[in-house]
């Protein structure tokens, strides 16, 4: 991977490390934020730009628009959403506003999930964030050190800002949807949009650049312990195996720095071994509490160190226990 990084512009806590992955292909790796942001891939072609994923809020997407304008005068023609989770599509509205005519693409399963579940979660945030603001104000009033007060004041500002954004959100749903495969043929580049099966959600979209030997995975592959709350642990490994049949060297993940195929093997191994360990325990009649006690020691020697790089995002043990709970519910 030919990788040149620099810190880009920021909006609030939306900060990105911009890295060049291949000629005309960049990734904006999201830094830790009060409300998590996804990575964004920027793919430049002869007649325009394709954006993959748009973060948790419009102000974060606006940072990417500013960066794209620094990179090229060409317009953003397509925006791809890899799945329905809020931190990957709530910035959609920024692109048609900045680039009239920009089309937003995903697969039919993901668009349906956005309508059925994603829009509801926006309203959940509108209802829930005021309680966060109230809690932060109370904690700020009770803070006893300068350091505590400074952090709480910063978090309070970000929570208030996020609440204002989510209340004003104009959800921009995809304008184009495909079933299994869609290909964008530009004069200088092929961009394949693929549905390979259930994994992180029911409708994960992979973006494959065959000439650049690069795949963009959304949260079907990430740099730390995966979130499985909407996932399909038993199907996930099969989907990864289909992905592995593609000819690529570089993975642009939904979160975390770009990686190579060795991380694909580690990530697959974790899901496979966790699912098999839970299945074995369930077959003995073990309760959920017993499974939560027995499985972590089996996986820790192989995977704990590998997944501890991003502990500030999702601690290894907490993430594993949540994944065990999801898997137990699916297999028992």
pLDDT digits (tens, 9 = 90+) for 279-291: 999 999 999 999 9
Kindly report each contact of residues 121-125 with a partner whose C-beta sits within 8 Å and lies 24 or more positions away, as own/partner. 121/86, 122/86, 122/90, 122/166, 122/169, 122/171, 125/86, 125/166
pLDDT digits (tens, 9 = 90+) for 96-137: 999 999 999 999 999 999 999 999 999 999 999 999 999 999
* pLDDT at residue 3, as a whole number: 45
Residue 251: band (very low, low, confident or very high) from pLDDT cuts 50, 70, 90: very high
Q: What is the mean pLDDT of the chain?
A: 94
* pLDDT at residue 36, as a whole number: 86
* pLDDT at residue 10, as a whole number: 44
pLDDT digits (tens, 9 = 90+) for 176-199: 999 999 999 999 999 999 999 999
* pLDDT at residue 332, as a whole number: 86
Cα-Cα-Cα-Cα dihedral sign, residues 19, 22, 23, 27: negative
261 has a pLDDT exceeding 50: yes
Residues 166, 86: Cα–Cα separation, whole Å: 11
* pLDDT at residue 8, as a whole number: 45
> What pTM was computed for the model?
0.93
Instruction: Say if residues 220 and 206 touch (Cβ distance below 8 Å).
Output: yes
* pLDDT at residue 5, as a whole number: 41
* pLDDT at residue 4, as a whole number: 43
Residue 311: band (very low, low, confident or very high) from pLDDT cuts 50, 70, 90: low
Residue 312: band (very low, low, confident or very high) from pLDDT cuts 50, 70, 90: low
């Amino acid at each position: 991977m030919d990788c040149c990084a620099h810190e880009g512009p920021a909006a609030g806590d939306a900060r990105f490390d911009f890295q060049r992955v291949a000629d005309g292909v960049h990734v904006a790796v999201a830094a830790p934020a009060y409300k998590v942001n996804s990575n964004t891939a920027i793919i430049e072609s002869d007649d325009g730009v394709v954006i993959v994923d748009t973060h948790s809020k419009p102000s974060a997407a606006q940072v990417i628009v500013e960066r794209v304008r620094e990179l090229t005068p060409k317009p953003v023609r397509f925006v791809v959403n890899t799945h329905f989770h809020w931190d990957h599509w709530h910035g959609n509205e920024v692109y048609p506003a900045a680039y009239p005519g920009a089309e937003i693409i995903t697969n039919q399963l993901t668009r349906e999930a956005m309508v059925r579940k994603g829009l509801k979660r926006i309203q959940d945030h509108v209802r829930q964030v005021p309680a966060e603001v109230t809690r932060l104000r109370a904690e700020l009033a009770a803070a006893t050190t300068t350091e505590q007060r400074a952090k709480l004041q910063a978090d309070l500002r970000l929570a208030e800002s996020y609440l204002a954004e989510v209340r004003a959100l104009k959800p921009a749903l995809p304008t184009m949807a495909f079933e299994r495969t869609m290909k964008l043929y530009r004069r200088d580049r092929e961009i394949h949009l693929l549905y390979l099966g259930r994994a992180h959600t029911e409708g994960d979209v992979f973006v494959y650049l065959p000439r650049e030997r690069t795949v963009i995975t959304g949260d079907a592959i990430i740099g730390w312990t995966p979130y499985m709350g909407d996932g399909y642990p038993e199907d996930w490994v099969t989907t990864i195996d289909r992905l592995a049949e593609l000819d690529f060297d570089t993975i642009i993940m939904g979160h975390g720095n770009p990686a190579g195929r060795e991380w694909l093997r580690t990530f697959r191994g974790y899901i496979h071994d966790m699912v098999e360990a839970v299945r074995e325990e369930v077959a003995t009649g073990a309760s959920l509490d017993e499974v939560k006690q027995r499985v972590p020691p089996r996986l820790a020697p192989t995977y704990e160190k590998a997944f501890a790089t991003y502990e500030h995002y999702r601690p290894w043990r907490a993430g594993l226990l949540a994944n065990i709970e999801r898997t137990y519910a699916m297999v028992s």
